[in-house]
C-alpha cells in the first residue's frame, strides 16, 4: 500500500488515489467484498472494517492461546 504499517495519514484513507495501481486495485477489491458481506470500512483506515452491530458486543480480554480452534 501507499503508506507504512499502521500509518495514520491521508495515505491510509480508503479512497486515497496515490500509490501503486495494483495496490489500490487490491484494496478496492477487499473493500467491495467486505461491504458485500455487511462490513463497513473506517473512514481513515483502509484495513479497518466493522461488522453491522459490533457496538452491541463487549470487548473481551481473551488470550488467543485459550481459544480452541
* pLDDT the model gives residue 9: 93
Q: Taking the model in full, what pTM does it have? A: 0.75
CA atoms of 48 and 44, how far apart (whole Å) = 8
Task: Identify the residue whose cell numbers are 488515489.
Answer: 17
Asked if 45 is an active-site residue, the reply is: yes
Active-site residue (options: 7, 35, 42, 45) = 45
Question: Per residue in 4-42, pLDDT tens?
Answer: 777 889 999 999 999 999 999 999 999 999 999 999 999
CA distances (Å), origin 44, targets 12, 26, 41, 63 = 6, 17, 9, 28
Is 1 a residue whose pLDDT tops 80? Answer: no
Planar angle of CA 13, 47, 41, nearest 5 degrees: 70
Amino acid at each position: 500500500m501507499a503508506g507504512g504499517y499502521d500509518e495514520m495519514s491521508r495515505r491510509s484513507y480508503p479512497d486515497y488515489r496515490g500509490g501503486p495501481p495494483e495496490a489500490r486495485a487490491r484494496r478496492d477489491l477487499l473493500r467491495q467484498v467486505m461491504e458485500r458481506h455487511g462490513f463497513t470500512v473506517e473512514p481513515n483506515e483502509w484495513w479497518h472494517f466493522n461488522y453491522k452491530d459490533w457496538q452491541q458486543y463487549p470487548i473481551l480480554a481473551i488470550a488467543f492461546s485459550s481459544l480452541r480452534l
